[in-house]
Amino acid sequence: MHDPLELYERAVQSPAELATLLAALHGGSPARLREDFGGAGAVSRAFVDAAPNRRALVVDIDPAPLARLAGHPAIGTRVADATELDDQEPADIVFVGNFSIGYVECRRRLVRYLAASRRRLSPGGLFVCDMYGGPGAWRLGGLARRIPLPGGSTLHYWWEHEAADPLTGMVDNAISFRVETAGDIVEEHPRAFTYRWRLRSLPELRDLLLEAGFGSVEVRVHAELEPDGRPKPPASPRDLEADWTALIAARA
């Protein structure tokens, strides 16, 4: 039986690519990553694995995913509500991934959290989060994908919009998994992860980041690097399709 967290990492994340992109967006030699709402810290693991002098701190309200990082020599963990912490642990990059910024429903709380993140950042440091939007964000239904697993099994991934209210911005989403081996479904993980999030538009997020004291905000819809290793340029309005997923990067 697979651990749903392992299936999540295979289906949802590309931690090595993301860690490289975060460092490239930072533009210097970032050595300290803070991953808030970090779950099992896949991006932090990839970040510290990529260079010997790197450290990461992963914060999550749930001790279960953090337990997977126990004993890692370059990664510290903290079980806490990320929006309540007032530590001054310095970071070169603060990252909030997989739409987790949407957990912060209250605007005032979000500005307070963003301002605390900015204070933790070293000069030139970067806060990065992601968001999705567009008309499809309010449409109920799901998206299926198949991912090959080592050993020849197939992972069936199902992302479902279970409820969505464009008047309040609140959505309920769920991720389910099935594992197929030799044509038989051998594992079912219905609604293995469920989320209740407040979706915010890109201009709303930009306003909140500027209000929290950040100096500049850039949006990227192509989370990729140029062949020479530089990040692709920030998005122009033409790059944004009707349904979009974007990285929002704010400089301290």
- Give the x/- contact pattern for ligand SAM in 98-117, rule: CB under 6 A: x-x--x--------------
Q: How far is the CB of 90 from ligand SAM (least distance, A)?
A: 19
Q: Is 144 exposed, middle or buried (0-12, 13-18, 19+ CB in 10 A)?
A: exposed
User: How is the beta sheet containing 91-96 ordered, strand by strand?
Assistant: 75-79, 55-60, 32-36, 91-96, 121-133, 244-251, 216-220
When asked if residue 122 is in the footprint of ligand SAM (CB under 6 A), the reply is no
- Give the x/- contact pattern for ligand SAM in 163-192, rule: CB under 6 A: ------------------------------
When asked if residue 44 is in the footprint of ligand SAM (CB under 6 A), the reply is no
- Looking up tokens 């070169």, which residue turns up? 92
Q: Which of 45, 46, 47, 60 binds ligand SAM (CB under 6 A)?
A: 60
CA dihedral 183, 188, 190, 195 (to 10 degrees): -100
Residue 10 token pair: 């295979």
Residue 26 token pair: 């930072």
Query: Binders of ligand SAM among 190-209, rule CB under 6 A?
Result: 195
When asked if residue 39 is in the footprint of ligand SAM (CB under 6 A), the reply is yes
When asked if residue 82 is in the footprint of ligand SAM (CB under 6 A), the reply is yes
Handedness of CA 21, 26, 31, 37 (dihedral sign): negative
When asked if residue 62 is in the footprint of ligand SAM (CB under 6 A), the reply is yes
Cβ–Cβ under 8 Å, residues 164 and 139: yes
Q: Which of 5, 61, 111, 240 binds ligand SAM (CB under 6 A)?
A: 61
Q: How far is the CB of 59 from ligand SAM (least distance, A)?
A: 6
Nearer to ligand SAM, 191 or 230 (CB): 191
When asked if residue 81 is in the footprint of ligand SAM (CB under 6 A), the reply is yes
Q: Which region, judged by CB under 6 A, interacts with ligand SAM, from 94-102, 141-149, 161-169, 205-213?
A: 94-102
At 208, which helix (H) or strand (E)? helix 202-211
3-state secondary structure of 216: strand
Cβ–Cβ under 8 Å, residues 248 and 129: yes
When asked if residue 13 is in the footprint of ligand SAM (CB under 6 A), the reply is yes
Contact positions vs ligand SAM (CB under 6 A): 13, 37-39, 59-62, 65, 81-83, 97-98, 100, 103, 195
